[in-house]
Amino acid sequence: MEVTFVASVQGHQTDRVREIADRLRAQQPDVKVTLVEGDAANALLQKHELQFGPAVIVDGRLEYVGVPRWRFLQERIAQVAQNLVNPRTAAPPTPPAKPAPPAAAPAKAAASADAPPPNPGSPAKTPESPTAGA
């Protein structure tokens, strides 16, 4: 795992960034910790579409803009080590559900669909009963 601290191009919080980087190196020697300052910091910030720093990049992914609290940084490093998604990040969009195929229409509805629509000005026809005229 690699954690990259990118210093501000304006020199803001540079001492704090160095302090956090040194503390991380001391407490987790298995994590590769780098500190990027100067022109290299400007190029790295532009790559992540930032104009200013500081920022923290964990395994190539921008995790924090600014200097995070020590506890937040520790938790996020542990999550990345376990391949967990960042709970503070919005979930990726889910693909829209596919519409259900149209259901087959009942036979009665299909028969009425073939008949011409009734004329609103004429009286409704009623089917003749088999006993009519008997």
pLDDT tens for the chain, 134 residues long, are 999 999 988 878 889 999 999 999 999 999 999 999 888 888 888 898 888 889 999 988 888 999 999 999 999 999 888 888 776 665 555 666 677 667 666 655 555 556 666 666 656 666 665 665 55
Residue 14 in any domain: the answer is yes
Please report the pLDDT score of residue 14 as a whole number: 86
Residue 21 in any domain: the answer is yes
Q: How far is CA 16 from CA 71, 76, 93, 111, 125, in A?
A: 15, 19, 36, 79, 89
Q: pTM (2 decimals)?
A: 0.62
Cα torsion through 5, 67, 63, 2, rounded to 10: 30
- Judge residue 48's burial from the number of C-beta atoms within 10 Å of its C-beta, 0-12 exposed, 13-18 middle, 19 or more buried: middle
Residue 70 in any domain: the answer is yes
The CATH number covering residue 67 comes to 3.40.30.10
Which range marks the domain in which residue 9 is found? 2-81
Residue 52 in any domain: the answer is yes
Please report the pLDDT score of residue 12 as a whole number: 80
Residue 90 in any domain: the answer is no
Residue 104 in any domain: the answer is no
For residues 63 and 126, give the distance between their C-alpha atoms in angstroms, rounded to a whole number.
75
The domain tally of the chain equals 1
Q: Are 35 and 18 in contact (CB under 8 A)?
A: yes
Residue 95 in any domain: the answer is no
